[in-house]
Amino acid sequence: MSTNIVWHEHAVDKARRAESLGQKPLVLWFTGLSGSGKSTIANLLEQKLTAQDKHTYLLDGDNIRHGLCGDLGFTAQDRVENIRRISEVSKLFVDAGMIVITAFISPFRADREFCRNLLAEGEFVEVFVDTPIEVCEQRDPKGLYKKARSGDIKDFTGIDSDYEVPNNPEIRLEYADESAEQTVERLYAMLADKGLV
């Protein structure tokens, strides 16, 4: 923990930035197993929102590990640190007035709650992409389940590392028997119904 530092208040605050962008800043936190469709749905949702002149930024699990979290592995401790960093970055984007879309397995409830607790009430929206592991394994877009089953990958979520299902997500999104586009339309309708977009 840093010491001998004092928070510096700035004249332009989150409310002013959000007003200038004409939107409600928030984090749409997509969580679910590998292969559940988080990144695909998040990407399509961002396209839909930007087409409506919303100001967004998408933080994706694999992409973040090329830079900000490139020094982390996949142990439980590293996963916690990965989500801690993402949470702090998300908070900065919300402070800038943005709609932040994240796509991370984020397997531990406590880590997701850490991000929720960094933000004001209503600024964290947990979107549980509830895809059965059997479907995720059939998709296996990166061949990770196959490697995990053969023992080539250790600590793989859903195989030999736990995934803690959200207790009360703001949105539970099933994505198994329809196209990604249809799923995003359903998701957008849910967000709109809640007054979030």
Per-residue pLDDT reduced to its tens digit, 41-67: 999 999 999 999 999 999 987 788 888
* Structure-block tokens of residue 98: 């943005």
Q: Is 179 annotated as a binding residue?
A: no
Opening angle at CA 22, ends 88 and 52, nearest 5: 95
User: What's this model's pTM, rounded to 2 decimal places?
Assistant: 0.89
Sorted by where each starts, the structural domains of the chain and their CATH numbers stand as 14-133+162-193 (3.40.50.300)
Q: Is 33 annotated as a binding residue?
A: yes
Output the pLDDT for position 1: 64
Output the pLDDT for position 61: 75
Calculate the alpha carbon distances from 56 to 23, 43, 65 in Å.
10, 11, 20
Output the pLDDT for position 10: 73
61 vs 108 pLDDT, higher one: 108
Q: Is 32 annotated as a binding residue?
A: yes
Output the pLDDT for position 18: 84
Task: List, by residue number, the catalytic residues.
Answer: 106
Q: Is 154 annotated as a binding residue?
A: no
